[in-house]
Each structure stands twice: as structure tokens, then as C-alpha cells.
């Protein structure tokens, strides 16, 4: 089964890091290889431009892929966005030169030139507003075009706004919000491999910001410790083979640990061990 991943751009590195975190590690280091086997024997990675991935997944030749929501909308491809991967967040905005005097899309003059690589989104957006503009298709960076007098506005992804600021631009409208998505061919939404991948990704995200806490508690202190200790449902308690002592463990939010550890010690807990959690499958 082929899983398409970005071959370049801002989504490439976080995509590979996420896949590695869930156990899908590339088994070939040659970046020129377009199809790469992985540690999941049934999954091969195929490297592709993020804007091409929706079309590739729609074809059915590739089961799933990671790309931006903006590219899915632009392509119009029939794919299922089964999971928001929570990185690559940004806004697709219309921006103009600060010196233009234009504050809203409505103030753009008739026939204004708008440079973008999101041509379909741009056409639909301005058509819905009833605004007549000239769309200029650009495949590379668009931010410099207004300064060169080639465009009156741009429509592009803004993550932090720094790039717009550097080029003397400011956003005047938000067209849509975007982030990285796991997209799947509709025929494979209920496939076992899709369910497995979604489960492991959700498990990885659920584990973020949580730690496993183990502690030993004398029997006469158990009730006091359990009153202090948070848990997802309830702490697990096991009586040790020797002595009147219990082992207690629980999953707790990482940010409460500094205060929690001191309260547990005061309540009578000892031998407190705190460990990371790789995945939390619920």
C-alpha cells in the first residue's frame, strides 16, 4: 500500500516526524528514491509534491497521503480528509501593499490583478463576492509581485505574517484556514490499514503532555494518596507480594506534576517514578 508524503515544503519534515513517531520509519535514506519501503511492511512511502497528492490519492493508485487542506480544496479531488494532523496551520489570505490604501476586498478596483497558485480557490472566492478580478497564475513565491507592479494583490498562505511584513504587505481578507490532513481514497476509508494508522496517530497525540506516574503507598496511606492522584478514569492499584504496601500508577497531565509530586509525598507516597508515554490508545 502506498502512502503519499510531501517531497518538499513546510509539510515535509513534520510529516516524516509524525510517521516516525507512530512507527513508520523509512528504510532507505536516498532522497532521490520516490518510492521507499518502511518499517510497516505493508506500507511504502511515495514522495510527491503536496499540491499533487490529492489527485494521486483520488486516482486510487495510492491509498492515502498527507497534504494541506488548502491543496485539497484547490484540487477539487474526491478524497476523504479523515484526520487533522495539527501542524502546518495557516490562513489563505488576500494581501495588498500597505501603501495601496486598500483595506477590504471590496475596495479592490475592477479588474484588479491577483497573483496566486490557488487559482480555483481564487476564482470561486471572488465570484461569490461578485468581484471582477484578473487571476494571475504563479507557481513560485508571489509576495514580491505587488512591489514589482505585476499584481495589485496576492492570495496566498500566511502562517505567521512575517513574510508578508517583509514585503510590505498586509492581509485584508481570510479566504480559508488550513492545516495538514491525512487524506484517504474514499474506497479505503474503512480499510483496516486506515483504521490502524488513524488509531496510532490519535494515540500519539493523546500522549502528548501526559506522563505515567508509578508510586508505592503503605496501606494506611492509600486512601489519602488516591484522593490526591488524578487519573483518566481511576488509578490502578496492585498489592505488592511483600509487606502491606500497594503499587499505584496513573496517567496525569505533565503540567500538574511539580505540585502533584509534593502533595503525593506529603500524603505518604514513596518511590515515585515518572515516565514518558509514547502513545495513549483509548
**How far does Cα 252 stand from its chain's mean position?**
24
Which grid coordinates are listed for 20?
A: 516516525
**pLDDT at residue 155, rounded to an integer:** 98
The CATH number corresponding to 209-276 among 3.90.550.10, 3.40.50.720, 3.30.70.120, 3.30.420.10 equals: 3.30.70.120
**pLDDT at residue 121, rounded to an integer:** 98
90-177 is classed CATH 3.30.365.10? no
**pLDDT at residue 231, rounded to an integer:** 84
Domain ranges in the chain?
A: 2-88+179-206, 90-177, 209-276
Which grid coordinates are listed for 272?
A: 515515585
Whether 2-88+179-206 shares its CATH topology with 90-177 is answered yes
Which CATH code is given to the segment(s) 2-88+179-206? 3.40.190.10
What does DSSP say about strands 153-158 and 112-116: parallel, antiparallel, or unpaired?
parallel
As separate numbers, helices (DSSP H) first and strands (DSSP E) second, the chain gives 9, 15
DSSP bridge pairs for 95: 154, 171
- What is the rounded distance in angstroms from the CA atom of residue 84 to the CA atom of residue 229? 32
In angstroms, the Cα distances linking 60 to 30, 33, 73, 95 are 26, 21, 18, 37
What is the full per-residue pLDDT of the chain (282 aa) written as tens digits? Answer: 899 999 998 999 999 999 999 999 999 777 777 899 999 999 999 999 999 999 999 999 999 999 999 999 999 999 999 999 999 999 999 999 999 999 999 999 999 999 999 999 999 999 999 999 999 999 888 999 999 999 999 999 999 999 999 999 999 999 999 999 999 999 999 999 999 999 999 999 999 999 999 999 999 999 999 999 988 888 999 999 888 999 999 999 999 999 999 999 999 999 999 999 999 998
**pLDDT at residue 233, rounded to an integer:** 86
Residues in Cβ contact with 33 at an 8 Å cutoff, skipping those fewer than 6 apart: 47
**pLDDT at residue 14, rounded to an integer:** 97
Amino acid at each position: 500500500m502506498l502512502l503519499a508524503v510531501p517531497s518538499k515544503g513546510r509539510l515535509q519534515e513534520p510529516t516524516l516526524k509524525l510517521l516516525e513517531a507512530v512507527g513508520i520509519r523509512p528504510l532507505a535514506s536516498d532522497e532521490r528514491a520516490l518510492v521507499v519501503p518502511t518499517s510497516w511492511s505493508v506500507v511504502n512511502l511515495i514522495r510527491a509534491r503536496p499540491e499533487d497528492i490529492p489527485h494521486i490519492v483520488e486516482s486510487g493508485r495510492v491509498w492515502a497521503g498527507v497534504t494541506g487542506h488548502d491543496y485539497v480544496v484547490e484540487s477539487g479531488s474526491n478524497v476523504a480528509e479523515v484526520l487533522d494532523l495539527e501542524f502546518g496551520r495557516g490562513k489563505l489570505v488576500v494581501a495588498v501593499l500597505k501603501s495601496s490604501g486598500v483595506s477590504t476586498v471590496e475596495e479592490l478596483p475592477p479588474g484588479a490583478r491577483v497573483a496566486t497558485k490557488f487559482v480555483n480557490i481564487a476564482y470561486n472566492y471572488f465570484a461569490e463576492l461578485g468581484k471582477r478580478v484578473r487571476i494571475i497564475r504563479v507557481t513560485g513565491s508571489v509576495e514580491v509581485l505587488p512591489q514589482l507592479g505585476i499584481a495589485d494583490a496576492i492570495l496566498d498562505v500566511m502562517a505567521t505574517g512575517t513574510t508578508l511584513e517583509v514585503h510590505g504587505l498586509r492581509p485584508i481578507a481570510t479566504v480559508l484556514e488550513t492545516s495538514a490532513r491525512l487524506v484517504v481514497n474514499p474506497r479505503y476509508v474503512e480499510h483496516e490499514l486506515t483504521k490502524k494508522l488513524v488509531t496510532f496517530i490519535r494515540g500519539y497525540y493523546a500522549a502528548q503532555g501526559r506522563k505515567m506516574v508509578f508510586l508505592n503507598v503503605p496501606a494506611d496511606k492509600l486512601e489519602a494518596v488516591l484522593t490526591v492522584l488524578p487519573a483518566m478514569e481511576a488509578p490502578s492499584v496492585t498489592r505488592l507480594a511483600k509487606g502491606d504496601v500497594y503499587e499505584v500508577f496513573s496517567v496525569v497531565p505533565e503540567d500538574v506534576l511539580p505540585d502533584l509530586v509534593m502533595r503525593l509525598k506529603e500524603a505518604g507516597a514513596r518511590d515515585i517514578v515518572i515516565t514518558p508515554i509514547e502513545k495513549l490508545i483509548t
